[in-house]
Amino acid sequence: MRVVKKPEERKAEMVAAASRLFAQQGFVRTSVAEIVSAVDVAKGLFYYYFTTKDDMVKAVVEGFTSYMGAEAYHIAAGQGTAREKVERLMNHEMFSRCFTEPLLADLCLPQHAALYSDMCDRVVDHMRPAVEVIVGQAMQERGMEMDAAQASRIAGVGMYGLLMMARRGEMSMRGAAEMFVRMTDAMIDA
């Protein structure tokens, strides 16, 4: 006998189940049947909440990037120099927890370019405020004036650039994180 739950609770359960499955085997190899089986609901309920499996991928990515943004902002608002904050940010478990190899591998497939682009937008939307704080702090530490708009542009260009290089296979996501540290170091040491 199935348990009746509030719609937002049931939807959250499906997203959580999909998150686990996508992390283990990617979304290409995860079927809608596996997702609904993991939460013991009818397949029709999946389509009540999500038009397509791509909508589920977007919901999973939104959950990950929202978490990443909150963690990043906690680091940015905390104690330490800009360099220390960048190191804490790049070494945080959120990167390995959120974007596993199977999920990223699927997102980087050419046929999923739109999903990758959506993921990039979500990463930037959620993490940009924290990166802006760190960029602004780095510039202040160097005695350089920078307004919020400049910090925002630097953060956006840097983040999108690294994400696009990672998608094209020019560097791994870990390599992108290390490049971000080097870029920030160069800005701090300038």
Residue with tokens 């400049």: 150
Q: Count CA atoms closer than 13 A to 158's CA, side-chain side.
A: 23
- What is the rounded average pLDDT of the residues 164-176? 73
Tokens describing residue 39: 């939460």
Cα(41)–Cα(33) distance, integer angstroms: 10
- Dihedral through CA 117, CA 119, CA 120, CA 125, nearest 10? 130
- What SS3 class is residue 61? helix
- Provide the pLDDT for residue 1: 58
CA 124 remoteness from chain centre:
8
Closest CA to 46 of 7, 85, 87: 7
| pLDDT band for position 185 (cuts 50, 70, 90) | low
| 165 contacts 171 by C-beta, under 8 angstroms | yes
With 60 as the cut, is the pLDDT of residue 146 above it?
yes
Closest CA to 135 of 183, 178, 94: 183
Tell me which H or E stretch contains 108.
none
pLDDT in tens, 48-102: 999 999 999 999 999 999 999 999 999 999 999 988 898 888 888 887 777 777 8
DSSP class of residue 181 equals H
| 72 contacts 130 by C-beta, under 8 angstroms | yes
CATH no., domain 7-49: 1.10.10.60
pTM across the whole model: 0.84
